[in-house]
Structure formats: C-alpha cells, structure tokens
C-alpha cells in the first residue's frame, strides 16, 4: 500500500519506499530542451523544490548506476533523446541550506566545508584530461585535503 511522505527530498528513497509520487519528470525534458542559461525554481515552501533538484541530479549524474530502474516508468524515460543523456553528466549540486552561523568567518568556513565535500564527490577530476595540470592540482588540493579547523562544523 502506498503512503504519503512528508519532507522527503530524496528521489531514490521516494521510489524505493513506495510512497505516492506524482510524475513531474516532464520538467526535466522541458528544461533540457529549453537550453536556458539560468533556471529559477520558484515555488512556495514544501512544494517539492528540493525533491525536483534531487530528481534532476539523479537523472543526469554519472554517480547513479541505474537510471532505468528509477525512471523507466516515468514520463522523461519515454524520450529516446533523454535516455541517451541519462547518467552521462557529472552533476554539481551545492546547497547552502546548512550554512547557518553567527559570524561571517564561521559562515565562510561552512561554505568552504561544503565545497570540500562537493569536490570530494568527484575524485576522477584529478586525472580528467579536460583539466590542465594547474587545475587538477588545485582541485586535488582543495577537494581532497583535510582541514581540521573545519571538522567541528561537520554534521554527524
């Protein structure tokens, strides 16, 4: 039996847990075909913005191993053109929702921590031929080194 979820922003969890899900994946195709340089998602609170972003990330990212299992029965999968790009694009997703600090310095440290964690998700870029040696070295130093001063901010 399907149940209603509240506050779940994880598309994979929504699908795996058999929650009610209203297929909004047509947005992915419309957005992709639009070719806009910037897209602003404006919806009221609790209207699924974070879930939509997670859905887009799961559709495109190379980190997702089986897009067909997640999207096979949804509208976006009916497009052959969209199936060809599914799972082929490294998606960079950065949220500042956890950046809440009383001072500028602490907020900056939290942003740096978020960037380090983001860089850590893409270690293959340290050897990517699209980057030059300087870019690879910068990426490796920024993303894969640790800074003990920032550990206190890490969420458990």
The tens digit of pLDDT for each residue in 69-99 reads 899 999 999 999 999 999 988 788 888 878 8
For 32-36, 40-44, 58-62, 136-140, which range has the lowest pLDDT when averaged over its residues?
136-140
Q: Where are the domains positioned within the chain? A: 11-85, 96-155
Contacts 24+ apart (CB under 8 A), 68-73: 70/11, 70/12, 70/15, 71/25
For 42-56, 91-105, 141-155, which range has the lowest pLDDT when averaged over its residues?
141-155
Give the largest Cα separation in the chain, rounded. 54
Which has the closest alpha carbon to 64: 83, 87, 92? Answer: 87
Handedness of CA 124, 67, 13, 90 (dihedral sign): positive
Using CA atoms, how far apart are residues 65 and 152, in angstroms rounded to an integer? Answer: 33
For the residues 132-152, what does the mean pLDDT come to?
61
**Count of beta carbons in the 10 Å neighbourhood of residue 82:** 20
pLDDT at 147 over 60: no
pLDDT at 156 over 70: no
**pLDDT-derived band of residue 17, with 50, 70 and 90 as boundaries?**
confident
What's the confidence (pLDDT) of residue 82? Answer: 95
pTM: 0.71
């Amino acid at each position: 039996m399907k149940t209603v979820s509240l506050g779940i922003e994880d598309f994979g969890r929504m699908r795996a847990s058999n929650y009610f899900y209203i297929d909004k994946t047509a947005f992915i195709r419309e957005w992709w075909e639009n070719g806009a340089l910037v897209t602003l998602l404006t919806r009221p609170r609790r209207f699924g913005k974070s879930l939509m972003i997670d859905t887009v990330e799961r559709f495109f990212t190379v980190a997702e191993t089986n897009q067909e299992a997640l999207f096979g029965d949804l509208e976006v999968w009916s497009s052959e053109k969209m199936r060809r790009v599914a799972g082929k694009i490294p998606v960079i997703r950065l949220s500042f929702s956890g950046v809440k600090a009383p001072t500028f310095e602490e907020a900056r440290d939290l942003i740096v921590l978020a960037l380090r964690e983001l860089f850590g998700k893409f270690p293959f870029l340290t050897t990517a031929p699209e980057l030059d040696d300087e870019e690879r070295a910068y990426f490796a130093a920024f993303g894969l080194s640790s800074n003990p001063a920032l550990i206190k901010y890490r969420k458990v």
